[in-house]
Structure 1
Amino acid sequence: MITDARPPLLGRLPAGVWVAAFWTAVVVFRFFTREDELRHLSEYHGNPEDMPLVVTAVVTTLVAALLVRLPLAAVAVALAGSVFSLGMSSVPEVPVLQFLIADAVVGYCAAVRSRAVSLGALALPLAVLAALLLQGAVNHYPVNPLAYAGLAATVLIAWLVGNTVHQSRAHGEALRGRATEQAVTAERLRIARELHDMVAHNIGIIAIQAGMGSRVMDTQPAETRNALNAIEATSRETLAGLRRVLGALRQGDPDSAPLEVAPGIAELDRLVERAAGAGVRVALTRRGAARPVPPEVDLAAYRIVQEAVTNVVKHAGTRDCHVTVEYGPEELAVTVEDRGTGSAGAAPGTGYGLAGMRERVTLLHGGFSAGPRPGGGFRVAARLPLPEGAAPEVGP
């Protein structure tokens, strides 16, 4: 069961509580340092010039409390405080401060809210500025149009900055979404290839052995027993492979069973034995100095040989094929050839088997080819690059 950890207690407190605590601390500080001024504030009788600190404290606390749930109301509160503070001639900076708080809320809305909310937040301070400018013109108040234009510019700049942050975040989320989708698709294709290569090969061997056993059941009991033993061994291997794939899918589950080792080139001898049990003799040739290779190359080489031999057993119409594994200085080359009269189960380049082999090689930045041989039969060849650290050591 997955549960979300609760944030710490202090992290669950609203922002308005923290702002209120801040202003409370300021008031307490002023009480112990300027008691006469605090008493002057407490004796307020309607003159706004005596209340700059109180207005700023109330406005900032309300803005912090409303910011998350009602951002437009937070803008309105900041603008109301700015307009109310215009009458405080003793502290002319307070209206500008309140207006800059409104700018900050506008930037916040543009950054994290929808386009409709951000445009509404942008329109509120511009409308207030236009109304104040119009009121001054009608009532012949001394107004400075350049000052109002400067305040309007701060609103636009705050909105543009927030909108840029919003677009950057949206672009980043889109990139992460595409990357996640590509990763999921790649993993799905990898699992599909693994299941196809494992199940198609082993089930094909089981089907051939079962048919052979049923035909000689009455006349050759020993051959029937051999066929049943081969079916049992192949079934167990298939079950182990399925458990490995399911284990990979459940890596995040702490109760999942440990993963089994994936097959590699070292398992080719067992593959040859199973193919012989299905009536196809596989000649395995290794060239070059055998050495450890990366797990993804090891698994890809095994699956390519497995799928190619499965195609020989099912479609080639021959009892012989030749597998070559060559360790080069920079790559591992795998070749499977037969002299049969059939094909790989489909036209060259088509079918899930060939497509899966080609995908495996492409993911490792190697080369792949598959098609009829000039002298008859079919040939599958893959070149898998090896990292520099996997190159054999050269003596002096």
Structure 2
Amino acid sequence: MKARPQAADALLALGLLVVGLPQLFLEELPEGADYDQFRAPDLWSGLLVVAVAMSLTWRRRHPLQVLMFIIGGELVMAVAGYPPAVPDVVAFLIAVYSVAAHRGLAQSALGGLAGFVYFLVYLMLLLPVSTSLPVMVTDCALVVGVWVLGRNLRLRRAYFAELEDRAARLERARGTDARAARIEERSRIARELHDVVAHHVSVMTVQAGAARRIIDRDAGSAREAMSTIEEVGRTALSEMRRIVGVLRTDRDVEQAGRELAPQPGLGDLGELLDHVRETGLSVQLWIEGEARPPSPGVDVAAFRLIQEALTNTLKHAGPQARAWVRLYYGDRDLTVEIEDDGRGTVTFMADNEDNQGHGLVGMYERVALYGGELRIGPRVGGGFGVRARFPLEA
């Protein structure tokens, strides 16, 4: 019925007629001089009652016109001397409510004033039965209360519609921020991969030049240089495959002339932890398994992951927090864990309620780029934890 409100209103009108028409023709009026002035209900009064009640079918689309039609129909019945019918009275109250609930302040105020004036005139002048002052005040208060109820419901609907619209705008803005963060992080990753691959190409160029110069007088050294070129070339090709699909921005072109030295890797982890300890954060490092050098891209990604996780710990964990960095070297993968025992679970989530953090987006992008897995969340016993698994081989 929500999808077809006019059909629901038609059923409402029919329900009023089913209940009210039998009462109109079967119930006898009370005895008394006042009630003797009413005409007995007949076919014409029944048709008027049906017309007035069925007009509620259009109460949402044309509420003010429906109210005026109902007032006109009841005036005709009052002038003709017919007694008030229950369907007409209920239809009048519903029409007053509909004007207040489905129209703006100007039309709803006009409809409410017209309904109140008509009801007051009907009680004082058109109704032959004498009405006491308390009953009159109560009936008028009922009309006013119905109008106020409709007005409040309209304002409430408008308030919830505004909340839904605001939530939709915030959701769109959040999606835009997340997309911008992904593009920014992918661009930064692409630049770092460019540096790694460029480094390999530089090594290949130097080795090829050396092999060309010594190939005539030292064939063994030349073959060794060729083997180095082959190995470095394969690594460079592997890293180039990682670049495919990474989005680039115009800013990458401007920064393409950066130095070709590779980015920091796990070999620089000690220096990173020393810098973190200088800030006052206690950090411990564990290395388990047989340490083996990962591919250059994974080396950079793991280092950046640890760097970002420790940066978040410094921001959110609190002054008395401690942190642990663990490296697990498996047969084919490298697992990196960064945990702390601070209060970062609450503050980090609160700070990122509206913006889910470009750092987190960067972590997911880096790990996903190398076919790894990432888990971020609260730590058992308090604090925050980051766990990532990288494949050692490209």
TM-score, normalised by the number of residues in structure 1: 0.50
Instruction: Give the structure with higher Rg (CA).
Output: 2
> Taking CA–CA contacts closer than 8 Å with sequence separation of 6 or more, which of the two structures ends up with the larger relative contact order?
2
TM-score, normalised by the number of residues in structure 2: 0.50
